Structure 1
Amino acid sequence: MKMKNFKIRLNRNFLFKIVSLFIGSILIVLSVVNVYISVSTSDKLYDDTASIPYNKVGLLLGTAKHMNNNALNPYYQFRVDAAVELYKAGKIEFILVSGDNSLKTYNEPLKFKEDLMKEGIPENKIYLDYAGFRTLASVVRAKKVFGINKLTIISQKSHNERALFLAKHFNIEAVGFNAQNVYGKNSIRTRIRGSFAKVKAVLDIIFNVEPKYLGEPIKIK
């Protein structure tokens, strides 16, 4: 009986060590990748319109307008505010909104367009990319579909870092304009998801992942 209990404890200890090693390895990879991407893109990020260089097109990365409780998503609102600020400062001429429109009842780009126009952005200055299902697709389609090789990416800082990292790999000359960040308990899940998304971005590059949809070229003019 004592021997049996000893074996059970031994198996539990062994399993605990394996699980701990696995979790520890994941945390190390997350930390290394996130630090590397942050450091490698730091010189391309801007927080104010005074210092950011002019680019013809600003790539506004999409997100849902409302959260699960139907409250306005602050990430969304702050991105709208940032795009409007850039445009009115004369630092971009056109806004390419890239987001998810996978369902007829869900249209991120159109929501952004409506709110940008409410803030005084002319309709002919706004272009919509309905197949920006993820950041990789938004960045690559900006080049391969809309013919943009130089642009300003608009989102929160962590998201901009990931987008800039991908843009560099695809030979796109880009800078990032940081929308106001979101803090508090509602942002924790987004931050965790963003950390894993940076690892996914590295894997996408390693395995040469391309957007699922491209399509006919669209010229911004």
Structure 2
Amino acid sequence: MKTWQYVTLYSMFYLSFFILISHQIVEAGSKDKLCDDTELIPSNDVGLLLGTSKYVRKGRINLYYKYRIEATVALFRDGKIQYVLVSGDNSTQSYNEPTTMQKDLIKAGIPPEKIYLDYAGFRTFDSVVRSKVVFGQDNITIISQPFHNKRALFIAQHKGINAIAFNARSVNPHYGFKTNLREIFARCKMVLDLIFGNQPKFLGEKIVIE
């Protein structure tokens, strides 16, 4: 076997091993911190709603978005959160996840004064870290789909945040295939972020939620 073939083989082995380890530690680190029932989940002042785009191809509603909004409204109506911190991407003038989500939360009955926006939640890592460093939250309820919540919880645990997560409704495997595939590599990137002590792209002045 030629040298380049050995290099390729070993590289594939180590990459596969790293992917497996990243997956396992995220799964193990989220046990007993996920909940699907608003009656059973403990209360927190702030729910951290992780952003996503409202629409997918051909102008259809993104089901990940729809179910996260519904989950957030359910938590608020049942008194399990008092405020919503919407954290998402606002990297361009034409793309604004937090404001879009805010409008739909208000339409669903959550008062505007109960909603805070984090425009610099470019990644899940940024959203979780900024919830503590910028918005001063040591206890949060993370709101997203289960696969996403697990990664966010792992980040929170390693950043000194006491977090639980409420699972928004999942989508079927076919609909979410690309998202689930990206999650594999997102977990690897998250592990590297934690190992090397990376920070969010932006921090900035503190914002008080009250």
TM-score (norm 2): 0.95
> Could you tell me how far 1:185 is from its partner in structure 2?
2.4
Match of 1:85 in 2: 74
The code of the aligned residue for 1:85 comes to A
Partner-residue secondary structure (3-state), 2:153: helix
Match of residue 163 from structure 2: 174
Identify the match of residue 146 of structure 1 among 119, 126, 135: 135
- Identify the residue that residue 5 of structure 1 maps to in structure 2: none
CA distance in 2 between partners of 1:206 and 1:69 (Å): 40
The offset of 1:24, in angstroms, is 3.6
Give 1:6's aligned residue.
none
CA distance in 2, matches of 1:181, 1:30: 23
The residue number in structure 1 matching 2:179 is 190
Percentage identity across paired residues of the two chains: 47
- Which one of the candidate residues 69, 78, 82 is aligned to 2:58? 69
Residue in 1 that maps onto 2:29? 40
CA deviations over 1:117-138 (Å, ceiling 9, x no partner): 1111111111100000001110
Residue identity in the other structure for 1:162: R
SS at match of 1:186: coil
Q: CA deviation at 1:170?
A: 1.0
Deviation at 1:200? Answer: 0.8
- The amino acid that maps onto 1:189 is K
Q: CA deviation at 1:20?
A: 4.3
Which structure 1 segments of 5+ residues have no match?
Answer: 1-9
Quick check: 159-168 or 67-76, which moved more? 67-76
Deviations 1:114-173 (A, max 9, x none): 111111111111110000000111011111111111110000111111111111111011
**1:34 Cα deviation (Å)?**
0.6
Bigger Rg, which one:
1
Given candidates 87, 95, 101, the residue that maps to 1:98 is 87
- The aligned amino acid for 1:157 is P
Q: Does 1:199 align with 2:199?
A: no
- Determine the C-alpha separation between the residues in 1 that align with 2:8 and 2:134: 45
> How far apart are the structure 2 equivalents of 1:100 and 1:173?
24
> Unpaired runs of 5+ in structure 2?
none
Separation in 1 of the partners of 2:12 and 2:69?
37
Give the Cα–Cα distance (whole angstroms) in 2 for the partners of residues 196 and 63 of structure 1. Answer: 18
Shift of 1:192: 1.1
SS in 2 for 1:80: helix
Q: Distance in 2 between matches of 1:22 and 1:128?
A: 42
Structure 2 CA distance for aligned equivalents of residues 146 and 29 of structure 1: 33
Q: Which has the higher helix share?
A: 1
The whole-number CA distance in structure 2 between the counterparts of 1:18 and 1:188 is 30
Q: How far did residue 88 of structure 1 move?
A: 0.8
Distance change (3 Å), C-alpha of 1:63 and 1:206: same
The SS at the match of 1:23 is helix
Name whichever of 124-133 and 65-74 sits farther off.
65-74
1:25, CA displacement in angstroms?
3.0
| Partner residue, 2:208 | 219
CA distance in 1, matches of 2:36, 2:95: 30
